[in-house]
Amino acid sequence: MSKINTQTEISAPTFWEQYKRKPLGMVGLVIVLVYVFVALFAPFLTPYNPKQILLADRIAAPVWFRSVVPQYNDAPSTIRTTLGPDEWAVREATGGKLVAEELEGNAISVIEFDPVARDEGISEDGVDTQEYGYYEEEPAKSAVVLSYPIAYNFSPPNTFGATFNYWIDASSDSKTELECVIETPEGKGYSLWARSYTGAISSQPARVDSRDLTLKQRLGLTIFDDPAPTIFSSKGDYRLVLRATSTSGEEPTRVYISNTEFYIPGKIHGLLGADHMGADLWTQLIYGTRISLSIGLSAAGISVAVGTAVGIICGYLGGVVDEFMMRVVDVLMAIPTLPVLIILGAILGKSVWNIVLLISAFAWMGTARLVRSQTLSLRERVFVEAAKASGASDAYVMLVHILPNVLPLVFAGMVLRIPAAILTEASLSFLGLGDPRVATWGRILHNARGFGAFTTLAWWWLVPPGLAITFLSLAFVFIGNTVNEILNPRYRERS
């Protein structure tokens, strides 16, 4: 025990010389550097951010499935188009035209109908303005029909949707009808949405979602049928058609259409697919690197700092302080950590910082014991006695003589504690006790378990986070063991 080589004679360059010769240590270092790189440059490695949802269909498969899994050969990737005045093609314009305007920096499409001076004698011609379906044109009316081609060369999608905002400027005697239709390559038309108005109206949102019950009824389907596969049943050129008809009054009727979006969520998406909300899993994975690295490093740093301080003070001072602290250490070591963390985490609230503190609070005991035993032997050494004899204070001796001599031990211990902290954090997040606002690896697994990775057999949702944790932990174990071998040769036998 007394013959421990604790003189920190190894200088930084020598340490590096020795470290370079250990293959496992180098492998670990390279892996950690890769993770650090990913964490730092996460925004450049993905076009999305981890909170963006609805990027694809729920639990979309990775893009490379297309070439690997036959079932996904022609699976749809996400189609999301914003339609402005430039995108629309005017198919028909009788008594009106399409005008491009700008509102608060956004290009909006305006359908402008020519004013009609109407005779008093002409009465309403009895058109049922609430009529649904794809109907024949009333020749008397002005009509503007816009269409947008959608090339769809995939297998049928699960859902689709369209949204736009519209408002109408018109005199009170005018009647305006709006209708949204999808035309299939076979020439069949499905009327998704229609409204008719008298006079002017303020801004209204229109939302078409293939999962809506009203849409199913409108198309004459039962609630168990799915409009999306019914409409997009074949490959070819589809058309999204927006039809506006109007009987203008004295004023020209103007129909404003803004924020138009057409959306078919893809069944395949990105490098690693999408989760239950359609968020990109690759993005979540690489942003998770940041959380794991910072929680691992800070929790290990805090716990080792606390442990070192306690260990040195107890070992050096001895007596009642030592006795008391060592009992505390005994008790804490016998406590099953996770149940305590679960309860405390629930009480203190879910935040990353809380998790770091909690993990550190239950991880400093090992270091404290190790450092204490080391200090016990150090304080009997001649150089400590000499320092004391020449009048050095306790604090001075602890800081200047003891601390540098336990540092090598502590450093290796800290590296080896990082994977434990990472694993604890992942477990807590997996149990749903992590910060709900940040994407962590544990959280991805939590979502995977809770939101259908099993029933859909979405292994691509489950495997990557676990692999990420494993490789990072392994890397730190390699580094820690190598550092131990160099700095603390006495511990070479251990693991």
* Contact set with another protein (CB under 8 A): 327, 330-331, 333-340, 342-344, 346-347, 419, 423, 426-427, 430-433, 445, 448-449, 453-455, 457, 459, 462-463, 465-466, 469-470, 473-474, 477, 493, 495
Report how far residue 468's alpha carbon sits from residue 472's, in angstroms, rounded to the nearest whole number.
Answer: 6
Decide: 360 and 308 in contact? Cβ < 8 Å: no
Nearer to another protein, 159 or 351 (CB): 351
How far is it, in rounded angstroms, from Cα 98 to Cα 409?
A: 76
Q: Do you know the residue count of the chain?
A: 495
371, two tokens:
């450092």
244: β partners: 144, 178
Nearest distance, CB of residue 35 and another protein, angstroms:
13
Q: Indicate the residue among 403 and 474 with the shorter CB distance to another protein.
A: 474
> Rounded to an integer, what distance in angstroms lies between the CA atom of residue 441 and that of residue 162?
33
Nearer to another protein by C-beta: 206 or 462? Answer: 462
Cβ proximity to another protein: between 265 and 296 the closer is: 296
Q: Which is nearer to another protein, 130 or 455 (CB)?
A: 455
Q: Which residue has the tokens 């009808």?
A: 177
Name the minimum Å distance from CB 455 to another protein. Answer: 7
The whole-angstrom separation of Cα 155 and Cα 10 is 65
Q: How far is the CB of 307 from another protein (least distance, A)?
A: 18
Partners of 175 in the β-ladder: 198, 247
Count the neighbouring beta carbons within 10 Å of the beta carbon of residue 135: 13
- Output the smallest distance, CB 443 to another protein, in A: 13
| Cβ atoms within 10 Å, residue 227 | 22
Smallest gap, in angstroms, from Cβ of residue 474 to another protein? Answer: 4
CB 6 within 8 A of CB 408: yes
Shorter beta-carbon distance to another protein: residue 126 or 336: 336
CB of 471 to another protein, least distance (A): 8
Nearer to another protein, 357 or 474 (CB): 474
SS3 (DSSP) at 279: coil
| Cα–Cα distance for residue pair 5/308, rounded to 1 Å | 19
Q: How far is the CB of 269 from another protein (least distance, A)?
A: 21
Q: Which residue, 10 or 338, is less far from another protein as judged by CB?
A: 338
Stretch (H or E) spanning 278: none
User: Least distance to another protein from the beta carbon of 75, Å?
Assistant: 20
In the complex with another protein, the residue whose CB is nearer, 103 or 343, is 343
**What is the phi/psi pair of residue 173, to 5°?**
-90, 5
Nearest to another protein of 333, 400 (CB atom): 333
Decide if 461 contacts 273 (C-beta within 8 A): yes
Closest separation in Å from C-beta 349 to another protein: 10
- Give min distance, CB of 222 to another protein, in A: 30
Residue 467 carries which side chain, given as an amino acid letter?
L
Q: Which residue has the tokens 């801004």?
A: 203
Q: What 3-state DSSP class applies to 270?
A: coil
Residue 205, C-beta contacts closer than 8 angstroms, at least 6 positions apart: 163, 164, 165
* Cβ atoms 57, 154 nearer than 8 A: no
What CA–CA distance (Å, rounded) separates 111 from 18?
Answer: 76
DSSP 146: E
